[in-house]
Structure 1
Amino acid sequence: MKLILFLIFCVNLTQEKSSYSFDGSLFDSKELEYDEIDEKATGSVFSRYMADSKAQLILDLDLFHHFFNYAEAYKNGAEDGNLEIMKYAVEMVEKLKAFDVSAPCVGDMLHLAWTGVEYATHVEEHKNCSDCKCTPLFQQKKNERHWIFNVFDAMGKVPAGISSGNNLWVGSWSTCRKIEVVKNRQGQKWKGQYCLANVHAYERDNPLKNIGSVDAVDKHCFEPVSPTNITDDGQCFNLFPLLKFGVCMPNTCTDHDVKRMLTFAIRAAEAMTGMNKVCDVSVECRVESNSDAMSQNPLAMFALYLLIATTVIAIFGTLYDLFIIQNNPPESHPAINHGFIKFILAYSLYSNGLEILQSKKRDGEINTLHGVRFLSMCWIILGHTYYYIGASLTTDNLIPTLINFPQQFYTQIIVQAPLAVDSFFFLSGMLAAFFFFKKTMKADKPPSMSPMNPISWLLYYVKRYTRITPTYAVVMLFDVTLFTYVSNGPFWRPIEKQGCRHAWWTNFIYLNNFLLQDVECCMGWTWYLANDMQFHVVLMPILIITFLKWGMKPGMIVSSVIMIISSIIKLVIIEYKDFPPAPLLTAKLQIVKQLDEYWNHVYVRPYVRCTPFIIGVIVAYLLNAWTTKDQKDLRIKLERKHVIIGWTCSTILGLYSVFGLYWFAKTGDISEWWKILYILFGRPAYALALGWVVFACTTGNGGPVDTILSWRLFVPLSKITFCAYLLHPIMLQIYNLSRPQPFHFTTFGQMLRHTVEAVVASYLMAFFFALAFEKPFTKIDEMLLPSTKKVEVKSKKVDQELELLNQSRN
């Protein structure tokens, strides 16, 4: 109804203002291409009314106020029985055919308009109705047609907080979806369908370009027009829309139909106001049809059957484990070695749960890593909580939040959360190298464990691939299928917009940080897995062979050379592309546009991110080289002064890496030498600080830090962190996209609460995923590809049996 009324208003006013009139008929095909000549706007649609550049928060939406003011007037006209307005609405709907609007959509829009005419007719005929005879009939007729006001009420309206950048005029998704009325004697129904329109402005009206600028807000008024300062290249500003507008339409209208009607209304409004600000309109209607049902999606049904089958096997395996295995001695059930029995026992929730919840510390293990792993994941979830709320574009005060966010000192902990990813690179390199060194630095190492044996490396790669890929694949499968159907609402959309249709294979060959980045980013947060796999394939053999074959000094030299080359490459790319020293928000929000390119050229590239991995390998070597050969005791006695120096330097390096760019974040300005210094040493400083923490705690020099990081509660949480890493972005996006109304940033306490909720929800989901998928896949992998340790044990057992056999023969 509101759209119809706005079209009427546009037509009336366009005919009245000859200076903005179109050539020829208002509805001819020429205008449908929108090539009319509009007057050039004199100022930015976003900022021309703002006198203070630091207060430039507004998305000036006066262009759309006509829509709502006059639509409200026509609504009142319907309630007052103004038949002329409602009849004109019918005429306008009939002309929608000329806009390439489908016939079913036009038919339902016509039914809506005629219902409005009938409602106004009843109001007009019964204005003087006051006795008991006519009132009931009048009320009955009104009630039968009152649903048209529900359509109007479900539409988006001008909200509060426009001056704070509130561009979410979403209306009521639930109200629109409840509309369902019989429209003819055949029993066919007029059903409400919620559509969300995204209105995009031109790049020349970028609302971020002057925020944080020291130039006068009216600087452009005094600059002569020249080819060098003309920025109107016709491109759209696509970081976020000028307006998100909810409309309630009949379910017979397609996205194309709604887009055509909205685009014409906007072009007419621009012609009346002399502005040309909207470059594109996109519409997504939330229609329910049989083709959209999960039952019509073969991949989704496969995922559902897989989930059901897994549940059945898990129940059967758990019951068999509890009633057969646990209640009888091992020798009483020889079938336990049967392949099928091993398979179903791999899904035993009881055994898998005990393994996950086991928190016993073991000698010779680096127990500190459990705390580092869990706390680093909490840090990542904290950063992602902010990121996914902002990226979902479901926030009604996004711009003022982005402006104020970098001003606070403590927010550096949040914006520098990407440093926590370096914790996992460090842990990955250290753990793999530690156990490799532990096996190969023994005097009685088996020949198969020689670093020069290509077979050992091949087995290492296969084992690493089969260890993580099955769980990764299941999460991706559920992400693009079952998780698509878990919710709905005005902002709801699939987690993966393109369903990973194009780039899924790049994830499984672990090259998704290089291939098809400009086509599709499938599970974008898994760039880490690609980098990690590339480190193990390329860097691990180089470093391991160098350390084992030539010793500490050559190993340190090679490691240092690789890290220096990595830092130089990063410096060259950032200086050449004029990128910021780190991917963080600043007072000058123009940096937001740079972060996308920073992601592709710097953030996900292994030759830039390899330093923490290398430092992890170095720490692993030192722990093995400076302790006993059997590694039963990893303690090293250090002098007190060395411990103090180590912890002091570690603290300084850690604080520098996290807070070293605070002034840059606050002002948006940074000196060239400080920028270069942070590019070269910012991330390495964090990895070195973490390396000392792990080394000191493992060797008995950690004090209370070791006590905290080795807390037994962290052990089970650490075991399910891989699943939490894969699942937490999905959980956050489901939460953000399921909201019926926009989110509003308030305090840090609010976000801290959301972070705690996200951590709890992610780890709960991770626990069940680990029980049902990760643990079973690991056990099945061990059945098919036994680990080296098990092969060694089996080999020793065979040797002992042969020796006993020879003795008996003698």
Structure 2
Amino acid sequence: MRILTFIIFLCSTIYNISCFNYKGGLLWKAEEVDFISTQCQESIKLFKENLCTNGQDDIWALQMLDASSKIPIGILSYNFGELGNFNQCLKIKSKNYVIMGKYCLGNIAVNTSAIDEDSIYIKSHMYMKTVLTKITVGIKLNGNPTMAICIPSNCTDDDAKKLMSSPELGVSVQSVICQTIENVYPELTKEAIVAISVLSTLILIVILSTACDLLYSNKIENLHPILLAFSLYANGKKLFKIPRRSSNLSSLDGLRVMSMVWIVMLHSHSVYTSGPVSNAKDIVNFTNSFMSMIFINGDLACDTFLIIGGTLITFVYFKRQNIHKGNYKMSVSVVLKHYLHRYLRLTPPLAGVVFVSATLLRYMGSGPKWPYIVNNFEENCKVYWWSALLYIQNIFNVDRMCVGHSWYLNVDMQLYFFSPLILWLLKERTKTGIGILIFTSLLSMSVSFIRGYVEELSGVRSTYYSKSSSDVYMNTYYLKTETRATPWLMGIILGYILSGKKYTEIRLSKKIIFPVWFLSLGVMLTCVFGGHNTLRRPEYFRLQNAFYLAMVRPSFALSVAWVIWACSTNHGGVINKLLSLPIFQFLNKFIYSMYLLHVTILYMIVFASKGPMYFSVFYLSYWFWGIFMLSFGLSIIWVLVFESPMMAIEKIIFSS
């Protein structure tokens, strides 16, 4: 019914235009009904006069009409992303009147219960109604249809909203975004000028440091290391050099890189399908397919990162204990250094993204939906930059996160805060420490189950059949440390096991190794594809979904834990050789910056689009690899400017 109403709405508003017998459409509403501003009414009258007299050499009205939405091709395939002609509208300027083009994009909401069956609009399209009432969607689509109109610039945003609404059809405009040429190309703000100055200074420092390195490092023996901290030459040599590793944890490099690939796949799919698409029906069909679960469940890669993070914390600490023969004490200074190291490692690259997002993002593109970037990414970072840099966004301003995908860093940093206490317990009270870790893991799983059951959450990230909204899913389960902690806690235990010599010297027979490998891979596949029925079935099973939410992450993490243990104890075979390839060691250096950059790049490309995109698995794959390579290229710059210099400075600070 929503499709039917939207089609009739477009027919009755856009196509009912007759210069000589004009009885329908937006212009009729504006001229006959006193519901818009006076200046807008006058402009609309001039619009009609210019349109009906052909305008001679001034065809601004025809250009406005041409730039507005029409009935799109393929509307029965859910082509609801009609955007009109953005650039054409903004370039319109009347030669005879003070009239310029204003582009307005509205989100159309349809309330079928409010339709007036006696309306002339409905009656004039009875045949279409008879045919189209047979069409059913069967699910609730993500988002609402959009409609663009090009109107005179002295009409207000509220005028545009009223012009696009149609109470007789139960059609209202939830929100409207209007842009003029001045909005699209704004002047630099004070914040933007400061940002450009700061970034220019940083680039200058990099250039001077590189020049100092190339010209004087071989001539001056005691050249202070701080002068070389920003050197592209010095940092580049370290970055592109792949040293031989003696560590038995080299498989972690491959796991990290593959997890990053999976995360980019997830976000490529979610952002691509959230933008204007000309065949949303194909998205519905693909999302209900079995193979779509590879994209939808890509967030399990974050659990791989969590278990790797937990593993490294305990492994490094207890290896250090072995070197110091158990005398490495967790003193106050050691704990502070522990925290400072982590903060300095993560924050500079993140601060760079936050800084650019808060000040310069609006100047990096334009398009019908570009204000979404400004109103969300930029405004959120202007207000809540501090919570992003304190890693507490998933607690205090969940609905207005700056750099939204940094939620993972919040979870990781909050868990890391408790690591000194956990390490002390494992060293001094080993059995008690392991008991607490197991209990906390079970508690986290219980919280996931309870929230999933109470809030009626879907087991997988889809709003097609879920009882609750995606915001509830994100705010009560997906972003929360207490529901994501189990993989990290498993990693803590795994790292402790791997640091002990007696555990790493265990040798298992092939009769045990092969079944466990198959079991582990089977559990992984079950976690990825097992929720398919939860996604595609209209019936909602509360207990099943809650149980899935409680078990999917621990189960997947346990399988990853086996992979790490097997590869670290020479039980990995071909898989260990694959994950330990030198190329992964190289790519691993860019993973963090890629994670920070790729989502912003995705949104910038999608919301700068001037027309709807076409969805297919081929285009999605093409899109994914393009985003991956672009993110990789930009991450090289980000590492050289933000990561590597701070690592060099940190080394200088701690060595002194």
| TM-score normalised by L of structure 2 | 0.88
Residue of structure 2 equivalent to 1:647: 517
Residue of structure 1 equivalent to 2:615: 745
What code does the residue aligned with 1:738 have?
A
Distance 1:476 1:625 in 2: 41
Larger radius of gyration: 1
CA contact (8 A) 2:448 2:483 kept: yes
Deviation, 1:159, is: 0.6
Distance 1:592 1:755 in 2: 30
Residue 310, structure 1, aligned to residue 188, structure 2: no
Equivalent of 2:220 in 333, 355, 365: 333
What code does the residue aligned with 1:479 have?
S
Residue of structure 1 equivalent to 2:482: 607
1:60-99 matched pairs, under 5 angstroms: 60-71=6-17, 74=18, 77=19, 82=20, 98-99=34-35
Structure 1 residues 550 and 641: alpha-carbon distance in aligned structure 2, compared to 1, 3 A threshold? farther
Distance 2:29 2:543 in 1: 65
1:699-758 superposed Cα distances (whole Å, 9 cap, x missing partner): 222111111111111112111111111111001111111212101212x22211211111
1:541-690 matched pairs, under 5 angstroms: 541-551=420-430, 553-580=431-458, 582-585=459-462, 589-591=464-466, 593-626=468-501, 637-669=507-539, 674-675=544-545, 677-690=547-560
Residue of structure 2 equivalent to 1:164: 77
What code does the residue aligned with 1:192 have?
G
Distance 2:452 2:468 in 1: 15
Structure 1 residues 59 and 481: alpha-carbon distance in aligned structure 2, compared to 1, 3 A threshold? farther
1:368-416 superposed Cα distances (whole Å, 9 cap, x missing partner): 1111111101101101111112233x11222x23431244222221111
Distance 2:113 2:472 in 1: 20
3-state SS of paired residue (1:197): strand
CA contact (8 A) 2:58 2:94 kept: no
Deviation, 1:635, is: 6.6
Deviation, 1:251, is: 2.9
Residue 413, structure 1, aligned to residue 294, structure 2: yes
Residue of structure 2 equivalent to 1:432: 313
Listed as ranges, the gaps of 5+ residues in structure 1 are 1-44, 48-57, 121-141, 206-236, 629-633, 792-810
- Give the paired residue count: 628
Equivalent of 1:150 in 55, 58, 63: 63
1:633-685 superposed Cα distances (whole Å, 9 cap, x missing partner): x7754433343343133222212211222233333457677546534432111
Structure 1 residues 204 and 110: alpha-carbon distance in aligned structure 2, compared to 1, 3 A threshold? closer
1:414-453 superposed Cα distances (whole Å, 9 cap, x missing partner): 111111110111111112222112112334455xx413x2
CA contact (8 A) 1:59 1:163 kept: no
3-state SS of paired residue (2:108): strand
Residue of structure 2 equivalent to 1:485: 363
Structure 1 residues 743 and 335: alpha-carbon distance in aligned structure 2, compared to 1, 3 A threshold? same
Residue of structure 2 equivalent to 1:24: none
Deviation, 1:89, is: 11
Residue of structure 1 equivalent to 2:265: 382
Equivalent of 1:758 in 624, 627, 649: 627
CA contact (8 A) 1:370 1:709 kept: yes
Residue of structure 2 equivalent to 1:357: 240
3-state SS of paired residue (2:147): strand
Distance 2:374 2:483 in 1: 27
Deviation, 1:496, is: 5.2
Residue 245, structure 1, aligned to residue 128, structure 2: no
Deviation, 1:305, is: 1.6
1:315-355 superposed Cα distances (whole Å, 9 cap, x missing partner): 22222222322xx2xxx414512xxxx44422211222222
CA contact (8 A) 1:90 1:114 kept: no
Residue of structure 2 equivalent to 1:782: 651
Distance 1:261 1:203 in 2: 19
Distance 1:291 1:420 in 2: 38
Equivalent of 2:99 in 190, 203, 215: 190
Structure 1 residues 101 and 60: alpha-carbon distance in aligned structure 2, compared to 1, 3 A threshold? closer
Distance 1:179 1:248 in 2: 9
1:109-508 matched pairs, under 5 angstroms: 109-116=44-51, 118-119=53-54, 142=56, 144-183=57-96, 190-202=99-111, 240-241=143-144, 243-263=145-165, 266-267=166-167, 270=168, 275=169, 277-289=170-182, 293-295=186-188, 297-325=189-217, 328=218, 332-337=219-224, 342-364=225-247, 366-392=249-275, 394-398=276-280, 400-444=281-325, 449-451=328-330, 453-495=331-373, 497-498=375-376, 499-500=379-380, 501-508=382-389
Residue of structure 1 equivalent to 2:415: 535
Distance 1:167 1:304 in 2: 39
Distance 1:238 1:652 in 2: 33
3-state SS of paired residue (2:582): coil
1:130-185 superposed Cα distances (whole Å, 9 cap, x missing partner): xxxxxxxxxxxx3x13343222111110011222222223211122223233225x
What code does the residue aligned with 2:74 have?
G
Structure 1 residues 481 and 706: alpha-carbon distance in aligned structure 2, compared to 1, 3 A threshold? same
What code does the residue aligned with 1:336 have?
L
Residue 697, structure 1, aligned to residue 567, structure 2: yes
Distance 2:649 2:325 in 1: 30
Residue of structure 2 equivalent to 1:9: none
What code does the residue aligned with 1:401 have?
D
Distance 1:155 1:733 in 2: 24
Structure 1 residues 543 and 281: alpha-carbon distance in aligned structure 2, compared to 1, 3 A threshold? closer
1:168-211 superposed Cα distances (whole Å, 9 cap, x missing partner): 23211122223233225xxxx53323221222234979xxxxxx
Deviation, 1:686, is: 0.8
3-state SS of paired residue (1:584): coil
1:449-485 superposed Cα distances (whole Å, 9 cap, x missing partner): 413x233222211221222122211101112332221
Distance 1:677 1:151 in 2: 55
Q: Please say which of residues 529-538 and 166-175 is displaced more in the overlay.
A: 166-175
Distance 1:686 1:735 in 2: 33
What code does the residue aligned with 2:262 have?
W
1:609-632 superposed Cα distances (whole Å, 9 cap, x missing partner): 11110111111111111269xxxx
CA contact (8 A) 1:480 1:494 kept: no
What code does the residue aligned with 2:151 have?
M
3-state SS of paired residue (1:167): coil
3-state SS of paired residue (1:199): strand
3-state SS of paired residue (1:240): coil
What code does the residue aligned with 1:454 have?
V
Structure 1 residues 288 and 661: alpha-carbon distance in aligned structure 2, compared to 1, 3 A threshold? same
Distance 1:291 1:174 in 2: 10
CA contact (8 A) 1:255 1:283 kept: yes
Residue of structure 2 equivalent to 1:521: 401
3-state SS of paired residue (2:150): strand
Structure 1 residues 90 and 404: alpha-carbon distance in aligned structure 2, compared to 1, 3 A threshold? closer
Structure 1 residues 745 and 85: alpha-carbon distance in aligned structure 2, compared to 1, 3 A threshold? closer
Listed as ranges, the gaps of 5+ residues in structure 2 are 115-139
Distance 2:164 2:599 in 1: 34
Name the % identity.
25
What code does the residue aligned with 1:525 have?
H
| TM-score normalised by L of structure 1 | 0.72
